[in-house]
């Protein structure tokens, strides 16, 4: 994925000035820059809240999960929920099922599509031109 590295203002003789809207920016204090950073963080928090709420709920004892008014911090944090999943559920089997499906799908898809891509792009055969535009 290309998303883990950000483009730097590479090969530029001079340092760039001013943050561009969405473009690479040099840290320089501006009102717009700060406002967009604050907005970005607020949006990120909104996006994380459901995940945190689920995590939070998972650490509450059963009666506390349905208590009103709602509370963010479990009064009596517990790992009971995790314990019962591990004890009662057949976790290993479930993970095994997912793993088997993932591996088989990946291997078969790769095998079939690599062969087809090679056949279509590196060899010619009657009718083969149909799919390579």
Partner 1 sequence: MERPDWKERWAGLFFVAPFLLLFALFMLWPIVSGLWNSFFNTSLAGVKHEFLGLQNWQDLFGDPAVWSSLKNTLVFTAMSTPPLVIVALAMALLANRKGLLGWLLRFSYFAPFVLPATVVTLIWVWIYQPGFGLVNGLLTAGGFAEIDWLNTENRAMLAVVITTVWWTVGFNFLLYLAALQGIPAQIYEAAAIDGAGGRQQLFRITLPLLRRTTGLIVVLQLVASLKIFDQIYLMTDGGPNYATRPIIQYIYETGFTSYRIGYASAISYLFFAIIVIVALAQFKLFSGREETA
Residue numbers of the site for partner 1 (CB under 8 A)? 2-4, 6-10, 12, 14, 16-25, 30, 32-33, 36-37, 39-41, 43-45, 47-51, 53-54, 57, 65-70, 111-113, 115-116, 118-120, 122-128
- Closer residue to partner 1 (CB): 73 or 125: 125
- Closer residue to partner 1 (CB): 85 or 116: 116
SS3 content of the chain, % helix, strand, coil (to 5): 60, 0, 40
CA distance 44 to 108: 37
- How many other C-beta atoms can be found within 10 angstroms of the C-beta atom of residue 78? 14
- Closer residue to partner 1 (CB): 63 or 88: 63
Q: How far is the CB of 44 from partner 1 (least distance, A)?
A: 4
- Closer residue to partner 1 (CB): 37 or 86: 37
């Amino acid at each position: 994925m290309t998303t883990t590295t950000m483009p730097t203002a590479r090969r530029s003789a001079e340092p760039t000035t001013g943050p561009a809207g969405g473009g690479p920016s040099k840290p320089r204090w501006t009102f717009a820059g700060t406002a967009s950073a604050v907005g970005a963080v607020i949006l990120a928090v909104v996006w994380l809240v459901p995940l945190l709420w689920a995590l939070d709920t998972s650490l509450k004892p059963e009666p506390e999960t349905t208590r009103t008014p709602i509370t963010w911090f479990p009064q009596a944090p517990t790992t009971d929920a995790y314990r019962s999943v591990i004890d009662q559920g057949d976790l290993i089997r479930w993970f095994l099922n997912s793993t088997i499906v993932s591996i088989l799908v990946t291997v078969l898809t790769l095998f079939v599509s690599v062969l087809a891509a090679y056949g279509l792009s590196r060899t010619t055969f009657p009718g083969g031109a149909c799919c390579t535009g």
